[in-house]
Amino acid sequence: MNVQPLGLARLLADIEGGRATAARTIAAAQERIDALDGELAAFVRRAPEASIDAAMTATGPLAGVPFGVKDIFDTADMATEHGSPLYAGHRPVADAALVAMARGAGAAILGKTATTQFASLDPCATRNPHDPSRTPGGSSSGSAAAVAAGMVAGACGSQTGGSVLRPASYCGVAGYKPSFRLLPTVGMKTFAWSLDTVGLFAAGVADVALLAAKLTGRALAAPPLADASGLTIGLYRSSVDAGIEKEMQAAWDDAARALEAAGATLVELVEPAALSAARDVHGTVQNFEAAHALMWEHRTHREAMAPRVLAQLDEGAATSPAAYDAGRRTARIGRRAATTLFETVDALLLPSALGAAPEGLGSTGDPALNKLWTLTGNPAVSVPGLATAGGLPLGISIVARFGRDAEALAIGALLETRLRA
């Protein structure tokens, strides 16, 4: 399949310069969904005609931008089903906060993108645009695939473990997991309230930074860095690195050399014990909270739960409050240790996934390299631009100090530019 993402910056420049119109851009995106989504299954439902008509005449900084919404975010004009038969046809009365922000900025929401059940681990029907026999990752499966295939120029997702960074890596697009709570979760189905983080997808890092800036009004799309002079980048060596595949290791090395050639100073950072321990308690915290957030579904409709999420909820329900509280204390110590890392480096460099998208559709892949940074709340961006010998995408993550989202995005954009040069 020939996939070509829609560059957001170029699209907006074309509309502003009169080389394209919002109406034609939206119509072309709809045509591409019609042509490709039968095979990819990135969308679970399309926006009603009245919503599309309104989007074609909308104004705002994202007017004319085709946008996809993960189906755990409430939409007043479409059902929100959370990937679960329990919510078939469920129609919220209001948009989630992020959806309202996107509409307010003029974005054209073309439909709801596929999610794993309750944004957990059980695969949905979506396929990877680079190889439909492979997973696009999860849980933000449809959002990543829709952006990669050029069906939309931007999409929202969520990350509780690795559900933005991993699909972005597998699908060859930019994925941005902001600092915890930078983007609102109001109106998004909760899985684990101390971990759930709203994220964004776009073709490249500069595009996802621009999308975030125009959605939020924050200064997240800084002018591009000329080089990496003065930056110190930590090569983060973790306790789970043994699982990194050979081609991903080579991509990590290539990314490090690219930043060094751009003027960065590279230093080795061995994972502190406090952060290794924090990663180990991620599942305890996540599943305990999920068992409470989904208590009604778990208790009254076990038969409707997919096997992996059911196992997580069973585990969480069996976790004692004392074990959960101990996990929270370990997580808090880990967050302090994460802050300490950035006393000596400007950002960390590490793989976004263990390797390329796994073959088959029975798994969404392993979030081992992502979940620590979800738990600590640090901003992270998966940078596209590298690939296996067979052409499958490989993403590399930039992680920055909490609240330094603009820096993470700027360094990521520089890295992408150097990788594609």
Q: Which amino acid is at 421?
A: A
* Nearest residue to 395 via CA among 408, 382, 381: 382
Whether the pLDDT of residue 109 is over 90: the answer is: yes
DSSP letters along 196-222, please? -EEEEEESSHHHHHHHHHHHH-SS-SP
Burial class (CB in 10 A: 0-12, 13-18, 19+), 26: buried
Task: With cut-offs at 50, 70 and 90, classify the pLDDT of residue 90.
Answer: very high
Distance CA 343, CA 421 (A): 31
Whether the pLDDT of residue 242 is over 80: the answer is: yes
Helix (H) or strand (E) holding 52: helix 49-56
pLDDT digits (tens, 9 = 90+) for 50-67: 999 999 999 999 999 999
pLDDT digits (tens, 9 = 90+) for 115-142: 999 999 999 999 999 999 999 999 999 9
pLDDT digits (tens, 9 = 90+) for 166-200: 999 999 999 999 999 999 999 999 999 999 999 99
Task: With cut-offs at 50, 70 and 90, classify the pLDDT of residue 220.
Answer: very high
Q: What structural domains does the chain harbor?
A: 8-216 (3.90.1300.10)
Q: Provide the token pair at 139.
A: 């849980």
Whether the pLDDT of residue 2 is over 80: the answer is: no
* Mean pLDDT of all residues in 10-22: 97
Rounded to the nearest integer, the mean pLDDT of the chain is 98
Task: With cut-offs at 50, 70 and 90, classify the pLDDT of residue 222.
Answer: confident
Interstrand relation of 393-400 and 108-113 (parallel, antiparallel or unpaired): unpaired
Distance between alpha carbon 144 and the CA centroid of its chain, in Å? 8
Distance CA 109, CA 48 (A): 10
Burial code (b: 16+ CB inside 10 Å, e: under 16) for 72-98 equals: bbbbbbbbbbbbbebbeeeebeebbbb
Whether the pLDDT of residue 1 is over 90: the answer is: no
Q: Which amino acid is at 397?
A: S
Distance CA 75, CA 100 (A): 9
Query: What pLDDT does 3 receive?
Result: 81
Distance CA 120, CA 191 (A): 8
Q: Which residue has the higher pLDDT, 1 or 415?
A: 415
Whether the pLDDT of residue 221 is over 80: the answer is: yes
CB neighbourhood size of 54 (10 A): 15
Q: Which amino acid is at 226?
A: A
* Nearest residue to 286 via CA among 240, 333, 320, 327: 327
For residues 74 and 188, the answer to whether their CB atoms sit within 8 Å is yes
pLDDT digits (tens, 9 = 90+) for 389-412: 999 999 999 999 999 999 999 999
Q: What are phi and psi of 373, to 5 degrees?
A: -75, -20
pLDDT digits (tens, 9 = 90+) for 344-399: 999 999 999 999 999 999 999 999 999 999 999 999 999 999 999 999 999 999 99
Whether the pLDDT of residue 46 is over 90: the answer is: yes
* Mean pLDDT of all residues in 253-258: 98
Task: With cut-offs at 50, 70 and 90, classify the pLDDT of residue 22.
Answer: very high
Query: What pLDDT does 95 receive?
Result: 98
Query: What pLDDT does 421 receive?
Result: 87
Interstrand relation of 380-387 and 265-270 (parallel, antiparallel or unpaired): unpaired
CB neighbourhood size of 132 (10 A): 15
Burial code (b: 16+ CB inside 10 Å, e: under 16) for 376-400 equals: bbbbbbbbbbbebeeebbbbbbbbb
The alpha-carbon radius of gyration of the chain (Å, integer) is 20
Q: Provide the token pair at 383.
A: 């940078």
Tell me the three state secondary structure of residue 109: strand
143: Cβ contacts below 8 Å, ≥ 6 apart: 42, 68, 69, 70, 113, 155, 156, 157, 167, 201
